[in-house]
Amino acid sequence: MYSTRTHLLPLFLALLPFLSHARYSGHRGGIAIYWGQNGNEGRLNETCATGRYKYVNLAFLNKFGGGQVPSMNLAGHCDPDSGGCVGLASEIEFCQALGIKVMLSLGGGIGNYSFSSRNDARNFAQYLWNNFLGGKSDSRPLGNAVLDGVDFDIESGSTLYWDDLARFLHSYSCRRGGKKVYLGAAPQCPFPDMFLGTPLKTGLFDYVWVQFYNNPPCQYNGNITNLIDSWNLWSSQRYIKTLFMGLPASTQAAGSGFLPPDVLTSQVLPIIKKSPKYGGVMFWSKFWDDQSGYTKQIVNFV
């Protein structure tokens, strides 16, 4: 008989430097990107084929609730209302085959959306299920592709019933044999967010990509103190599972809060990657990322 312990010791000693480095550098995350608001940002399948993104939010479904016929706006890409976007189904499935989660983003900075009642939110959840998720409808704007989930980028309108919408959407995940409906949220960094503070407390959101920009008290302003303090506040909330740092992909992508790529990689990521809730970095948007080349510079550090 021989001892395996004797043979394993040299292997452990050889791996020790790598284990120490892994512990220091934190775990790997992914990059989330918003796509859909500029026809010059390339096709969806081209976006996914870059290999840089792990999550793609299709922006935006920005008209719904209160008796309105839901309407999606994909800017210069295609017109969902006329059936012009059904061809995206194959591109969505291409992305998903690469392991990329493709989600429908609700709201945005420009739109008309709010709920008049809990039942209004329930009806809209059913609409989303039948038209974008695992249900069935004759009028699916993006064809027969089944999206991975729904992102809440709620920035205007009423603050009510968003938590109900999250619960109703989550309930579809519980159906026998049904595909999980992932939920994402993009709150502003002042805590708590006016629109998403209550929904987030449900604990149902899989991904929270906080917008650490356009808000001077909690964004980068030449030093990282406010940014890190805000990150720590968000990450301390027990109901947040996976947290992303949301950033503008170029100086033109937001009014303020641009974080230079070298500062992100050298100063910010070494700190936030130590958080057990760290999920990666989110960027607005694919078009601006194309202009700046931001994610090309940071993808190996995330």
For residue 226, what is the domain's CATH number?
3.20.20.80
Mean pLDDT of 281-286: 98
How many separate helices (H) and strands (E) can be counted in the chain? 11, 10
What's the pLDDT at 177? 65
Q: Examine the pLDDT at 24 and tell me if it is beyond 80.
A: no
Q: Examine the pLDDT at 141 and tell me if it is beyond 90.
A: yes
Q: Any idea what DSSP says for residue 302?
A: -
Tokens 């739109």 correspond to: 111
Mean pLDDT of 150-176: 94
What pTM does this model have? 0.91
Whether the ω angle into residue 60 lies within 30 degrees of 0, i.e. cis, is yes
What's the pLDDT at 18? 37
Q: How confident is the model at residue 26 (pLDDT cuts 50, 70, 90)?
A: low
Catalytic site residue from 41, 91, 93, 155: 155
The answer to whether residue 3 is domain-embedded is no
The answer to whether residue 172 is domain-embedded is yes
Tokens 């990666």 correspond to: 280
Q: Crossing angle, helix 118-132 and helix 162-173, to 10 degrees?
A: 40
CA 234, CA 205: separation in Å to the nearest integer?
14
What's the pLDDT at 9? 40
The answer to whether residue 247 is domain-embedded is yes
Residue numbers of the domain that contains 123: 27-298
Does residue 155 have an active-site annotation? yes
Q: In terms of C-beta density within 10 A (0-12 exposed, 13-18 middle, 19 or more buried), how is residue 164 classed?
A: buried
Q: Decide if 290 contacts 33 (C-beta within 8 A).
A: no
Q: Examine the pLDDT at 293 and tell me if it is beyond 50.
A: yes
Mean pLDDT of 267-282: 98
Q: Examine the pLDDT at 23 and tell me if it is beyond 90.
A: no
Tokens 């579809």 correspond to: 172
What's the pLDDT at 247? 99
DSSP 18-33: HHHHHHHH----EEEE
Nearest-10 Cα torsion for 260, 262, 266, 269: 50
What's the pLDDT at 1? 38
CA 30, CA 56: separation in Å to the nearest integer?
11
Q: How confident is the model at residue 27 (pLDDT cuts 50, 70, 90)?
A: confident
Mean pLDDT of 250-277: 98
Share of the chain above pLDDT 70, in %: 91
Lowest mean pLDDT among 1-5, 53-57, 106-110, 278-282: 1-5
The answer to whether residue 48 is domain-embedded is yes
Buried b (16+ CB within 10 A) or exposed e, 191-217: eebebbbbbbbeebbbbbbbbbbebee
How many domains are there within the chain? 1
Q: How confident is the model at residue 175 (pLDDT cuts 50, 70, 90)?
A: confident
What's the pLDDT at 178? 72
Lowest mean pLDDT among 38-42, 82-86, 174-178, 210-214: 174-178
Q: Examine the pLDDT at 17 and tell me if it is beyond 90.
A: no
The answer to whether residue 15 is domain-embedded is no
Q: How confident is the model at residue 179 (pLDDT cuts 50, 70, 90)?
A: confident
The answer to whether residue 6 is domain-embedded is no
Mean pLDDT of 184-213: 98
Q: Decide if 116 contacts 68 (C-beta within 8 A).
A: no
The answer to whether residue 223 is domain-embedded is yes
CA 253, CA 53: separation in Å to the nearest integer?
18
The answer to whether residue 2 is domain-embedded is no
Closest CA to 159 of 126, 123, 188: 188
Round the average pLDDT of the chain to a whole number and report it.
92
Whether the ω angle into residue 192 lies within 30 degrees of 0, i.e. cis, is yes
- What confidence tens digit (pLDDT) does each residue in 46-66 have? 999 999 999 999 999 999 999
Q: How confident is the model at residue 4 (pLDDT cuts 50, 70, 90)?
A: very low
Mean pLDDT of 177-187: 91
Q: Quick check: helix, strand or coil at residue 56?
A: strand
Cβ contacts of 89 within 8 Å, gap of 6 or more: 142, 143, 144, 145
